[in-house]
Copies of this chain bind each other. A is one copy, B any other.
Amino acid sequence: MSSISIIGTGNMARAIGALAVAGGNQVEVIGRDQSKAAELAKALGGGATTGEFGAVPAGDIVVVALLYASVVPVVTRYGDALAGKVIVDISNPFNSAADGLAIPEHISIAQEVAKAAPASASVVKAFNTIFGVVLAQARPLDVFIAGDDTRAKASVAEFVESLGLRPLDVGGLHMAHWLEGMGLVVMGLARHGIGNFDFALGAAIPG
């Protein structure tokens, strides 16, 4: 069992929160709009609580489930309140056409989060290659994770397994850049190669 806080009240927050409750984790929901957070916590059930935006989160793992442009500002705003936490960045920094990244090369949101977070926090990239709608279906899926802190990565992997999903370690946090690029590939597939959003990338030998 993990103790997690989710900052955000959108589709990804809801999907991850629902799986987390179903997996027996202690879940806290945090929103800039406290009423939305309370509403989501109630909808999740399972003893999910709400926390105060900007205060020390209850969870050991803090999933920042915000649109990419808000992620670094919010982590910066939190500052030392995130000391010792495992911060999970799930964002996709798509440009407006969603056919390229909106951030400079050699950069990833996850790495920027690591710069903005307290030194005692660890950052793990995860979940960004899965559409919320697919995650909400709760079927077995692969969750690609990247991070420099082995212990933090192990705790996120344990959390991912509690959701009924398979964590797949792709390496250090610098790989977040390429996972964010895989987010673009997923979007490209939805538009060109598959024609819908009802799929996820995974590692397998089909057949």
Q: Which residues of B contact A145 (CB under 8 A)?
A: 193
Asked whether A170 lies within 8 Å of B188 as measured between CB atoms, the reply is yes
Q: Which residues of B contact A189 (CB under 8 A)?
A: 144, 168-170, 203
Chain A residues within 8 Å of B, Cβ to Cβ = 99-100, 105-106, 134, 137, 139-142, 144-146, 167-172, 174-175, 177-179, 181-182, 184-185, 188-189, 191-194, 198-207
Q: Which residues of B contact A134 (CB under 8 A)?
A: 205
Asked whether A140 lies within 8 Å of B193 as measured between CB atoms, the reply is no
Residue of B nearest to A184 (CB): B178
Asked whether B170 lies within 8 Å of A206 as measured between CB atoms, the reply is no
Q: Which residues of B contact A192 (CB under 8 A)?
A: 169-171
Asked whether B193 lies within 8 Å of A200 as measured between CB atoms, the reply is no
- Return the contact of A178 from the options B141, B181, B207 (Cβ within 8 A): B181
